[in-house]
Structure 1
């Protein structure tokens, strides 16, 4: 990828929804049938026993609070059985034991390993056509994230993505203005330098970035693995630019590197929430749900942007619900998916503080209305940027991410330069990839 090339928002796997829309021909922009007298068959009143496997690991209590109770009320003819996934009770073990599964609740990160590698993935295009799903309502890049090679396998339930959290107490202590939505990386790094100082026996750090989350949701949509060669794709000019600006430059502020060396650990949630010596933290959204957030005055703004990607934030990172290829109740499963992305249900999620996956203004405007942080102006931060196009995913991307993250941590402490970090990471990753393919 050329460094000056702008990534088109919603490009690439947006083909999945585009093809479904074109193929359907059964719904106009308002989702109304285009054929006079056309009737969409409803399966809501046909009995079905739907087994839902919670690969995300939510307890049944959490599942019911967020989704299950509403589904039981909406579909009284369906019998829902929820199974909580865990390190021991994996989806692979579940199907190997011959147990049925109709729907899988999983994150974007688990889609390939759980759905595709287990051959449970099912192209939703035929169901979307017969159920006349109105795709014009959808936040397309968020749906694209659950696609692979142009085929959509699940519907997102709520989105995630990178934002910038900040500790107002630290800003107030040093009389520094708060960050704003729409700031560039250069502006944010400069602001961070003003807050990186030693005071009262505490080393304060201006700006920290979760390395793994930044690499996984990077705004340039740079993949870990080259789809054609199957090798690591990180020793490039584009990757060099990404990690230098977002990970290494913030650590160049006076006092930052000595802190990393003396503490001998990476910047984590604890620096921001518990130690409270980190003024700004780039992290995946929903961190504010942690109890420690009630112990300090915090704010949130949009992810800083690159000059050649104005208005583009991180890639989407949704949790979704997938229809299993082995299900006998695929039409009933689509009824469930369609209800969960309805404005009615998305409104309830939005009010509870979950990022909705539809473009409906009223749904977005209701964000966080029923939460303790309803006055934090979170919606403004969430929608200041457009989501970046989802990058191609790989079953083996952790084999690249792990050495890359470890070596970048060393580079932050001055133990190796950036070029060496990328080169060594790629060599280590390629060795691991070759071994994985041979198994």
Structure 2
């Protein structure tokens, strides 16, 4: 069989490629549940076409092929696929400006507002869903809600993500402290962290650290960074203050914590946990374990701690999607591809590899990571113990918070300003940045 995958990594090649989209139909299709069989939707599997997929996260071809590409080629032998990796000037904006056609955009919930909505590439799939008899009730509701918050059903979630509590077993063993458990509250996690925030022979250990942007933007109360309606910062409120006070300020009260922040002149990041290895527990998006530095780390994970007044509610989902571009000439074929990558067959294969599935099917969840190098870790309970919180409505201005929020939180941790002032100053700085961006 002739292999049709084409990998494009530069815009010079794009100009000579007519970018379009395609698909198949039968086994990737999900019929609407009813007492009698739904009418068979027309299959577009055997209509030759070209399908160009833009990889907005910048994943290299081998990663895309391992996830989807190889399976898609087997499923759709009549399609010619072209995968375009984001790199350098090879951006979706430049592609659209050059007149190159894109059929499918692969991107995360955190960036799709920029790659899809801001470029005007969105297409509401509601009519195609009806036409193809797709049963959307099969999906985890929060993952579908995550795409709809962009303004419509512009794509399908294909694998998900979410916050978990990683921990370095060696630090717990060193100090004779029991490991974290699934189902902890934040108060319990903070108390546990306090036992491990200590200085030992000149090394300052931190009991509980976090990627501050992730824990705040994926909070269990579904509070946004920026209000989508007003396009103004939304973090200077009593509710947000409670979240920040618990997740950021409370752990920092342990002796030695703020001194470490003063030394670093920043909040904690992935490298502190993975490379420096002086953080006992670290909250971050599932998938961090794929980094090379984890290979020699004695680690495991637990479910994200919960707020006492919001029991059982964990992280917001952080799915990746496949979006169909409104410029595609092969929308029906592209929908066939979406159906296939969200079929039970494909989702089971992804789940076994350690990609969080987007379907409610319990057998698919229970197969999670069975064929991965983390199958002996506590991944199933860490990922699926809690319910997903409703996803926030993301805006193209969310990133404006990153720098001022970190700066002001550091000042609050060090006692230079109080938390109310930190949030107010952040709000003011972000609103100014948003207004400046609008005037460009």
Q: Secondary structure at the match of 1:109?
A: coil
Q: Secondary structure at the match of 1:151?
A: coil
Q: Which residue of 1 aligns with 2:179?
A: 178
Q: What does the per-residue CA deviation read over 1:58-108, in whole Å, with 9 as the maximum and x for residues that have no partner?
A: 111221121111001001111111111123110010011111110011111
Q: Which residue of 2 aligns with 1:411?
A: 412
| 2-structure distance, mates of 1:38, 1:353 | 34
| 1-structure distance, mates of 2:425, 2:112 | 29
Using the size of structure 2 for normalisation, the TM-score is: 0.90
| 1-structure distance, mates of 2:106, 2:359 | 19
Is the Cα contact below 8 Å between 2:53 and 2:103 reproduced in 1? yes
Q: Which residue of 2 aligns with 1:140?
A: 141
Shift of 1:33: 6.1
Q: Which residue of 1 aligns with 2:68?
A: 67
Q: What does the per-residue CA deviation read over 1:262-300, in whole Å, with 9 as the maximum and x for residues that have no partner?
A: 233321112211111110000111011112112121110
Is the Cα contact below 8 Å between 2:123 and 2:325 reproduced in 1? yes
Q: Which residue of 2 aligns with 1:420?
A: 421
Question: Map of 1:200-215 to 2, 5 A cutoff?
Answer: 200-215=201-216
Change (3 A) 1:238 1:380: same
Q: Secondary structure at the match of 1:215?
A: helix
Change (3 A) 1:39 1:412: same
- Alpha-carbon RMSD across the aligned residues, in angstroms, is 1.6
Q: Which residue of 1 aligns with 2:392?
A: 391
Is the Cα contact below 8 Å between 1:224 and 1:401 reproduced in 2? no
Number of aligned residue pairs:
411
Shift of 1:203: 1.0
| 1-structure distance, mates of 2:422, 2:163 | 24
Is the Cα contact below 8 Å between 2:38 and 2:133 reproduced in 1? no
Q: Which residue of 2 aligns with 1:127?
A: 128
Q: Secondary structure at the match of 2:110?
A: helix
Pairing 1:53–2:39 present: no
Q: Which residue of 2 aligns with 1:223?
A: 224
| 2-structure distance, mates of 1:364, 1:37 | 27
Q: Secondary structure at the match of 1:38?
A: coil
Shift of 1:392: 1.2
Q: Secondary structure at the match of 2:111?
A: helix
Deviates more, 1:255-264 or 1:129-138: 255-264
Q: Which residue of 2 aligns with 1:326?
A: 327
Question: Map of 1:180-199 to 2, 5 A cutoff?
Answer: 180-199=181-200
| 1-structure distance, mates of 2:367, 2:135 | 22
Shift of 1:237: 0.2
Question: Map of 1:290-439 to 2, 5 A cutoff?
Answer: 290-439=291-440
Change (3 A) 1:425 1:137: same
Q: Secondary structure at the match of 1:204?
A: strand
Q: Secondary structure at the match of 1:247?
A: helix
Q: Which residue of 1 aligns with 2:164?
A: 163
Is the Cα contact below 8 Å between 1:108 and 1:145 reproduced in 2? yes
Deviates more, 1:198-207 or 1:327-336: 198-207
Shift of 1:149: 6.0
Q: Secondary structure at the match of 1:178?
A: coil
Deviates more, 1:34-43 or 1:263-272: 34-43
| 2-structure distance, mates of 1:391, 1:38 | 36
Q: Which residue of 1 aligns with 2:275?
A: 274
Shift of 1:209: 1.1
Q: Secondary structure at the match of 1:152?
A: coil
Change (3 A) 1:273 1:149: closer
| 2-structure distance, mates of 1:93, 1:208 | 38
Shift of 1:214: 1.2
Q: What does the per-residue CA deviation read over 1:240-280, in whole Å, with 9 as the maximum and x for residues that have no partner?
A: 00101001111110111112212333211122111111100
Pairing 1:239–2:212 present: no
| 1-structure distance, mates of 2:206, 2:127 | 52
| 2-structure distance, mates of 1:42, 1:116 | 29
Structure 1: which 5+ runs fail to align? Answer: 1-28
Deviates more, 1:159-168 or 1:144-153: 144-153
Shift of 1:418: 0.6
Q: Which residue of 2 aligns with 1:44?
A: 45
Q: Secondary structure at the match of 1:370?
A: coil
Shift of 1:401: 3.5
| 2-structure distance, mates of 1:303, 1:99 | 43
Is the Cα contact below 8 Å between 2:32 and 2:38 reproduced in 1? no
Q: What does the per-residue CA deviation read over 1:135-169, in whole Å, with 9 as the maximum and x for residues that have no partner?
A: 12111101211113651111111111111001111
Change (3 A) 1:41 1:231: same
| 1-structure distance, mates of 2:240, 2:84 | 40
| 2-structure distance, mates of 1:227, 1:287 | 29
| 2-structure distance, mates of 1:190, 1:335 | 50
Change (3 A) 1:303 1:270: same
